[in-house]
Amino acid sequence: MRDAANTLVWPVSTFVLALILSVIPMPDLAVAIRPPWPALVMIYWTLVAPERFGLMTAMVLGLAVDTLSGALLGQNAFAMLIITYFGLKFHLRLRFSPISQTTMTVFGMLLIYEFILFWVDGVAGRTVPFSDRLMPLFIGTLLWPLILEVFDRIQRHDQARIES
């Protein structure tokens, strides 16, 4: 029981942190390049612990993003579900491939994510040029190796503490 609680504290706090980062006020320039934090964190957890964080987590996280940001209810949830589905399908291959390859895959997943958001915006009658969504995409991809490294370290530290 204690172990379960311990192992949940860290993942849940990363999700909350990602949500906070996605709405915290920033200067205009930083807003224009703000990476999709929740999507990045979600991808990480589907690759690391697919048996614990799957589609339900993606749905809840996506709906939280929608509610916080005032987007259409389901917009981020839908995009999050799709990338999580791909993540779950291919996590075995991805987890053990070199970092350059995972980064490329993450780029692809974020591209799908941003494109779905853009597409839903278009259908709902809000035309935002797709080029506006490119910077968050690139920044998100560049941040991926960093996130992977930092999260893996904390994860290992966590695990060691639980086992000892």
Partner 1 sequence: MKAPGGIGGGREASSLGIKFLLLATISLGSMVIDHRNDHLSQVRQVFSIVVYPIEIAVNFPFKAWRWTTISLADRATLLRENSELKDLQLRYDVRLQRMAAVEAENVRLRAVLGSSAKIDDRVLVAEILAVDLDPYRQRFSINRGLQDGVYVGQALLDANGVVGQIVEVEVFTSKAVLISDADHAVPVSVNRNGLRTIAVGTGDSGRLRLPYVTNSADIEPSDLLVSSGLGGVFPSGYPVGRVLEVVRRPGQSFADVIVEPASALDRDREVLLVWSEEDQDKQYDKSKPIETDP
Residues binding partner 1 (CB under 8 A): 16, 19-20, 23-26, 31-32, 34, 50-51, 54-56, 58-59, 62-64, 66-75, 77-78, 81-82, 85, 88-93, 120-121, 124, 126, 128, 132
CA distances from 111 to 45, 79, 118, 150 (A): 18, 10, 10, 23
Nearer to partner 1, 98 or 125 (CB): 125
Here the contacts of 147-155 (C-beta below 8 Å, separation 24 or greater) are 147/40, 147/41, 147/44, 148/44, 148/99, 148/102, 151/14, 151/44, 151/48, 152/48, 154/10, 155/10, 155/48
Residue 35: closest CA among 98, 84, 106, 119: 106
CB of residue 54 to partner 1, shortest distance in Å? 8
Nearer to partner 1, 52 or 157 (CB): 52
Nearer to partner 1, 80 or 148 (CB): 80
Phi and psi torsions of 127, nearest 5°:
-95, 110
CB of residue 7 to partner 1, shortest distance in Å? 18
CB of residue 51 to partner 1, shortest distance in Å? 6
Q: Which amino acid is at 99?
A: I
Nearer to partner 1, 34 or 145 (CB): 34
Nearer to partner 1, 59 or 143 (CB): 59
CB of residue 16 to partner 1, shortest distance in Å? 7
